């Protein structure tokens, strides 16, 4: 029987790691959102203040999704840096 040396680190299971548990819901929601976006292929008219633009619905949804991801990224980044400054 093989003995484990004292300096051998125990491996944590992949899905119990904190980074994976935070990232997994993001991947799942993103996959569902992208499937929804690319299944909507009809043309729509969108009013942008004054002009009316005709474009595929998937393009409009993809733009909205991208802007939402940017807003989320900046919000999470700002919140994380604010909490690290308060703890000092």
Please give the pLDDT value at position 76.
Answer: 79
Measure CA 9 to chain center.
31
Tokens representing 3 are 């003995």
Please give the pLDDT value at position 11.
Answer: 77
Please give the pLDDT value at position 45.
Answer: 93
> How confident is the prediction for the chain on average, in pLDDT?
80
Nearest Cα neighbor of 33 from 8, 6, 68 is: 68
Kindly state the DSSP code that residue 48 receives in the 8-state scheme: -
Band the pLDDT of 4: cuts 50, 70, 90: low
Contacts of residue 72, defined as CB under 8 A and 6 or more positions apart, other chains included, come to none
**pLDDT tens digits, residue range 31-60?**
999 899 889 889 999 998 889 999 999 999
């Amino acid at each position: 029987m093989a003995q484990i040396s004292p300096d051998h680190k125990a491996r944590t299971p992949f899905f119990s790691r904190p980074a994976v548990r935070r990232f997994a819901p993001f991947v799942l929601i993103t996959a569902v959102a992208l499937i929804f976006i690319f299944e909507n292929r009809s043309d729509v008219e969108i009013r942008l203040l004054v002009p009316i633009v005709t474009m595929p619905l998937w393009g409009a949804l993809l733009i909205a999704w991208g802007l939402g991801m940017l807003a989320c990224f900046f919000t999470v980044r700002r919140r994380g840096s604010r909490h690290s400054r308060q703890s000092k």
